[in-house]
Structure 1
């Protein structure tokens, strides 16, 4: 029997966001012959790089109906892969043209454009999966969260590690007291692997171009500052950022190190590597941030940094989280080798990972995605927790695939694991670290109640200084 609870496709999809635990008909779109049809998904920044894989993953469970990208060369490739999808260089034009033909959107642009793209989608009632970090300003994170709740859309962030089995095991182990009382957390990465610090200065001022990593980037590197190549829609790439001269190499990769367009190494990798400790230890917002850095410039995030975020935890008391990135004096920034680590283990080759230090034991994960947990020097305890700790947490709908996870969450009227209730605070933790990075040697106090610091310079990073006319978004205005 054909269900008649919702009068049309759009109303049905709104109902999936508004009804929790109510009557739900998975995968049914009313009025369709046979009663079954997939969701329609569009990709913003979806024609190349990570965006191409994001929309492809969503497409495993949905129809890809539109691709938006500022690079027309990439759009040609996307059209070949998705011959029935519409191609756009402006996401605003895409939404105006496609209307209710889009149900969900993946956002895979540079960091500075995440916010306007996601807000435009949310304003129109579209479910959104946004790449990490969600934004590169604290104010934007809060507005994005409020807007999603206001419009009742389902959300997810593209931190694939949060869909995995071992991050759930970590959370369950910590709940069971695997390390005792947590004292310190150490997180490190080999990033940046793009120009930052002094290496980026000449690139961002146009004196030199970055060395192309792929053949497709060679033309951009040869163009020089000023006029963008014909296949790059520079104004759409800038999105909300006021007019800025074209700089070769920013698209498609070197933007990560630019303080206006990216969020640096902490923004890029923090949502991955800190995900496990943040969730398992229930960290919340720090009350204090401080950092030491090397080669910080007005335009670029630094070549290396060591950030300390301090938390007051209801269960553990005071916890300090240490973040390490980059290379100093030819040596990777990372914590000291764990004293109990087996002698045959090569700690130097662990290029990224985390260490949760408790008063009984420590958990080590030598990887970026909470994928290789071990109790340091205590294999019997590790085996015991693997065997005996009950699985109390709901498992992901699509392990390793946050975009597909959101598709299934919409279909089944469930909540994706890295929804904005979770991923906004995680993103903010990365941005708190950047307060310290841009004010090295200073102790920055954060006030959660007012969402401000006690440092005038750090407060300048909370909200973007200016946005392009016509690109103003807020939760109140949508």
Structure 2
């Protein structure tokens, strides 16, 4: 295992300099493998979800470097790719392997998406990143801008985008099956959150580099919960504001993908939120948010509701709607579509009793990972490239922002300004702990 310690000077040499509050890294030209050649890929974060991403990319491409702060959790992945160089610190890996890799996969916790992604893209490396894209709206915007500037092939880990049922749902909306859509309810039926305070501070496992796991976020000592498990790692970080984005960040990109795609949504102009009393440290067990999207040349204005709500929103009971696996309700001038990742149904049932679905016009995906690897080799952009998934990720995080800020705001996407709510700014931008100021907002 390569040493995890690198000097501040070495880190800055890797990430380049910055000034005036903007990332000023080089504009390295992306490397392009021929369509019949394999990419050389480095993977950062290879336990948990990272293991699945590694398998998805590793089926067709060369895995040349692997990095994880937890040697034990990453052990099986290391064993599967014995020829790949192994690292604990991604900065060391990217510095060592800069001229040997074409693309990078980032599958770390939310709070550590931004730094490795920005370094890799500054080097001109194509990027696959887990959802949500980053930990704050500002981080997402910076990543989106850099990917476009350096003309990189990107893909956000919204793999359900490739499911055929989602294609059919989008076709129904875009072909006008339920008329003009004005409102959408989207939800995750979950009560996860508020995992409780750690009960005991203990030394971290010898196989875990805790300082690197914390990375740019607020430092907390390693601790365990009532079950004797890590209070933050390997999973409960998701429900702590300093490291995760709650169930909204966990599921929002997947579920809101359906209305974003079907209705060609980008940036909202109004954000509102409600829910239980805010806990300054931990994400809630339930919350409701809403977003107003302006009309465009294809449709009228849209009101999109997102909620973390066990059993879904009240409107389902009010209208007597039920469908296993549903997570989106589209309301149109001619009817309603209730859908999820693997099911869909039109209402009122009598109205659509003899309905004939439109001819398929969304092509099947060649495979979610293959979309990205093909794009890296000069093919068409992947379906969840950052130009599409950036605005979606920002919207997801704006919901959290409004909830944490205590009230809604008018949103100016061009300047990242929450008008009418000065409290929101602290949640829109990022503050990094000492030693991680390669980037600044």
Equivalent of residue 255 in structure 2, options 273, 280, 303: 273
Deviation at 1:277, TM superposition (A): 0.7
- Structure 2 equivalent of residue 397 of structure 1: 366
Equivalent of residue 237 in structure 1, options 210, 213, 220: 213
| Residue 337, structure 1, aligned to residue 316, structure 2 | yes
- Structure 1 equivalent of residue 414 of structure 2: 449
Equivalenced residue count is 406
CA distance in 2, matches of 1:303, 1:273: 18
CA distance in 1, matches of 2:130, 2:320: 34
CA distance in 2, matches of 1:385, 1:262: 43
Deviation at 1:15, TM superposition (A): 4.5
The answer to whether the 8 Å contact 2:263/2:299 transfers is no
- Structure 1 equivalent of residue 222 of structure 2: 246
| Residue 469, structure 1, aligned to residue 435, structure 2 | yes
CA distance in 1, matches of 2:246, 2:380: 33
CA distance in 2, matches of 1:192, 1:122: 36
Deviation at 1:99, TM superposition (A): 2.5
Say which SS state the counterpart of residue 460 (structure 1) adopts: helix
Q: In the TM superposition, what whole-angstrom CA distance separates every residue of 1:202-248 from its partner, at most 9, and x where no partner exists?
A: 2xxx3x3xxxxxxxxxxxxxxx3253221111111112224332233
Equivalent of residue 35 in structure 2, options 20, 26, 30: 26
| Residue 136, structure 1, aligned to residue 115, structure 2 | no
Superposition pairs for residues 258-297 of structure 1, below 5 Å?
258-297=240-279
- Structure 1 equivalent of residue 338 of structure 2: 364
- Structure 2 equivalent of residue 420 of structure 1: 386
Deviation at 1:176, TM superposition (A): 1.5
**RMSD (Å), alpha carbons:** 2.5
- Structure 2 equivalent of residue 166 of structure 1: 165
CA distance in 1, matches of 2:52, 2:255: 21
The answer to whether the 8 Å contact 1:44/1:105 transfers is yes
Q: In the TM superposition, what whole-angstrom CA distance separates every residue of 1:413-459 from its partner, at most 9, and x where no partner exists?
A: 2210000000101101101111222134x232211232110211111
TM-score norm. by structure 2 comes to 0.85
- Please, which moves more after superposition, 245-254 or 402-411? 402-411
The answer to whether the 8 Å contact 1:397/1:408 transfers is no
Any stretches of 5+ residues in structure 1 without a counterpart?
1-10, 17-24, 28-36, 209-223
TM-score norm. by structure 1 comes to 0.79
Say which SS state the counterpart of residue 337 (structure 1) adopts: helix
The answer to whether the 8 Å contact 1:186/1:322 transfers is yes
